[in-house]
Amino acid sequence: MRLSPKGGDVNPLMFQFFTWDCNHPQLSWWKHFESEVPNLAQLGVTQVWLPPPNKAMRKQGQGYDAYDLWDLGEFYQKGTIATRWGTKEELVRAIETANAHGIDVLIDAVLNHKLGADRPEKFMAVPVDPNNRLKDIGPAREIEGWTGFDFLGRGDKYSSFKWTYEHFTGLDWDHRTRSKGVFRIATSKHRGWSRWVDTELGNYDYLLGIDIDHRHPEVRKDLLSWGTWVLQTTGGAGFRFDAIKHMDRRFLLSFIKHVRETLGRTDIFSVAEYWSNNIDLIKPYIRAFEGLVTFFDVPLHYNFHDASKGGGQYDLRKILDRTVLKYQPGDAVTFVDNHDTQIGQTLESWVGSNFKLQAYALILLYGEGHPCVFYGDLYPNEECYDESTARSLRILMDARRRFAYGPRTEYPQERNCVGFARAGDATRDGCAVLVSNAEQASSDGDAEQAPAHTHTIRMDVSSRNAAATYRPLFEPLAQTVTAAADGWAAFTCPRGGVQVWVKEGEGA
Q: Are the C-beta atoms of residues 49 and 15 closer than 8 Å to each other? A: yes
Angstrom distance (rounded) from CA 381 to CA 21: 9
Known catalytic residue: 340?
no
Burial grade of 241 (CB within 10 A; 0-12, 13-18, 19 or more): buried
Q: Active-site residue among 68, 222, 242, 429?
A: 242
Reduced to 3 states, what is the DSSP secondary structure of residue 99? Answer: helix
**What does each C-alpha distance from 191 to 169, 215, 381, 465 come to in angstroms?**
8, 9, 46, 65
* Phi/psi of residue 36, nearest 5 degrees: -95, -5
Identify the active-site residue in 273, 386, 414, 506. Answer: 273
Name which of 175, 240, 262 is nearest 16 in CA terms: 240
Cα 212 off chain centre by: 23
Q: Is residue 262 exposed (0-12), middle (13-18) or buried (19+ Cβ within 10 Å)? A: middle
Cα angle, residue 95 at apex, residues 92 and 97 outer, rounded to 5°: 110
Residue 56 CB contacts under 8 Å (≥ 6 apart), including other chains: 62, 63, 64, 65, 66, 67, 78, 83, 84, 115, 116
CA dihedral 284, 290, 295, 299 (to 10 degrees): 30
Contact yes or no for 502/399 (Cβ under 8 A): yes
Determine which helix (DSSP H) or strand (DSSP E) holds 32, and give its type and residue range. Answer: helix 29-42
Exposure letters 204-221 (e unless 16+ CB within 10 A, then b): bbbbebbbbbbbbeebbe
Look at residues 233, 257, 236, 213 and name the one whose alpha carbon lies nearest to residue 111: 213
Structural element, H or E, at residue 369: none
CA angle 382, 386, 389 (to 5 degrees): 150
Query: Is-catalytic flag, 460?
Result: no
Alpha helix (H) residue ranges in 201-278 = 217-234, 249-263
Asked if 420 and 412 count as a contact pair (C-beta separation under 8 A), the reply is no
DSSP summary character for residue 123: E
Contact assessment for residue 306 and residue 315, using Cβ atoms and an 8 Å cutoff: no
Residues marked active site are found at 242, 273
